[in-house]
């Protein structure tokens, strides 16, 4: 029986923990993890694993009920380390009841921001959004409606470094776990990205790797595509080249003009981005060879 702890909006949070594991594949991995949890009176709720690549690299997500679990999680690393060392595991544990602190970056387009705020407010996204950062005033009204502090930090070629210093100060003050670029129309510096490895998610309004860079809708229209896409991915130093988390497509016809592509693309972008954010905050993503493995 799963113990339910509290509800936020319409979402009920479980009293459970999640462990993500990756290491070279070998015999006994599943058994070692399951036995460790069993030895401390844990009840496994979900156990998913995948072997990636020709060398069959092992990736797993294990979730177990904490009701009756006899090992306090602050002692978990000490007790599990011998098992991890034996198999060469890289691993981490998180409480499903923990609500990650998410900062949303946005420019003038508001559709992705509005969707994220709505899903967070109704409990679909189990996170906190303590601040929104923008380089424009245009979408402040949405932040005010949801009661989220809105910080405008203008960015130009000559002030980019100073702007990022101010942004990082705010992120540190609010103890941010994840940054979501909800159509933030600025390229982040390598130094900024390095401070948040695998903790920045961007939505790109094309089906990557097609139409990289600026004005992908115009590129798609000029090419006469029959399918329009959107891609949510982790941000790396190489533009639009980070590990892909989620993608979506919509049909395009010869009757659709550029404005139609933009409208259809916006509907797609907000759904794709919200899925990617949800999977990240629920600890469902592992990375391998610039790819993502998404556990259900």
**pLDDT tens for each residue of 174-192:** 999 999 999 999 999 999 9
Give the torsion sign (CA, 122, 128, 130, 136).
Answer: negative
Structure confidence at residue 12 (pLDDT): 59
Q: What's the DSSP call for residue 74?
A: G
Q: Which of 41, 240, 256, 259 is catalytic?
A: 240
Domains and their CATH numbers in the chain: 4-95 (3.30.70.260), 101-294 (3.40.50.170)
Average pLDDT (70-98) is 96
pLDDT at 109 over 50: yes
Backbone angles phi, psi at 224, to 5 degrees: 70, 40
The model's confidence at residue 44, banded by pLDDT at 50, 70 and 90, is very high
38: its two tokens: 């069993």
Own/partner pairs, 33-42, CB within 8 angstroms, 24+ separation: 33/60, 33/62, 33/83, 34/62, 36/79, 36/80, 36/83, 37/62, 37/64, 37/69, 40/69, 40/70, 40/71, 40/79, 41/68, 41/69, 41/70, 42/66, 42/68, 42/69, 42/71
Active site residue 110: no
Q: Which residue has the tokens 């639009």?
A: 240
The model's confidence at residue 216, banded by pLDDT at 50, 70 and 90, is confident
Of 37-46, 60-69, 220-229, 286-295, the range with the lowest mean pLDDT is 220-229
Which residue did the predictor score with more confidence, 213 or 134? Answer: 134
CA–CA distance, 103 with 126 (Å, rounded to integer): 14
The torsion angle over the Cα atoms of residues 132, 135, 137 and 142, rounded to 10 degrees, is: -30
Average pLDDT (200-222) is 81
Over pLDDT 70: what percentage of the chain? 95
Of 85-89, 235-239, 278-282, the range with the lowest mean pLDDT is 235-239
pTM above 0.85, yes or no: yes
Dump pLDDT digits (tens) for 149-170: 999 999 998 999 999 999 999 9
């Amino acid at each position: 029986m799963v113990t339910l702890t509290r509800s936020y909006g319409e979402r009920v949070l479980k009293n459970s923990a999640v462990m993500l594991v990756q290491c070279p594949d070998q015999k006994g991995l599943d058994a070692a993890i399951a036995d460790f949890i069993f030895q401390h009176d844990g009840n496994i709720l979900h156990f998913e694993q995948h072997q990636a690549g020709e060398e069959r690299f092992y990736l797993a997500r294990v979730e177990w009920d904490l009701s009756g679990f006899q090992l306090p999680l602050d002692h978990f690393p000490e007790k599990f380390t011998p098992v991890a060392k034996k198999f060469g595991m890289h691993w981490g544990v998180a409480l499903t009841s923990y609500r990650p602190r998410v900062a949303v970056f946005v420019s003038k387009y508001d559709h992705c921001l509005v969707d994220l705020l709505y899903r967070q407010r109704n409990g679909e996204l189990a996170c906190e959004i303590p601040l929104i950062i923008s380089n424009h005033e245009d979408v402040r009204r949405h932040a005010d409606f949801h009661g989220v502090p809105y910080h405008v930090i203008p960015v130009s070629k000559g002030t980019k470094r100073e702007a990022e210093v101010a942004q990082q100060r705010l992120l540190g003050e609010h103890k941010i776990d994840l940054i979501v670029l909800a159509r933030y129309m600025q390229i982040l510096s390598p130094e900024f990205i390095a401070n948040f490895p695998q903790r920045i998610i961007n939505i790109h309004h094309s089906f990557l790797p097609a139409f990289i860079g600026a004005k992908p809708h115009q590129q798609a229209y000029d090419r006469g595509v029959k399918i329009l896409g959107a891609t949510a991915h982790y941000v790396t130093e190489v533009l639009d080249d980070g590990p892909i988390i989620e993608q979506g497509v919509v049909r395009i016809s010869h009757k659709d003009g550029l404005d139609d592509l933009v409208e259809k693309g916006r509907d797609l972008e907000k759904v794709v981005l919200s899925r990617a954010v949800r999977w990240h905050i629920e600890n469902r993503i592992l990375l391998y060879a610039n790819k993502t493995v998404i556990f259900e």
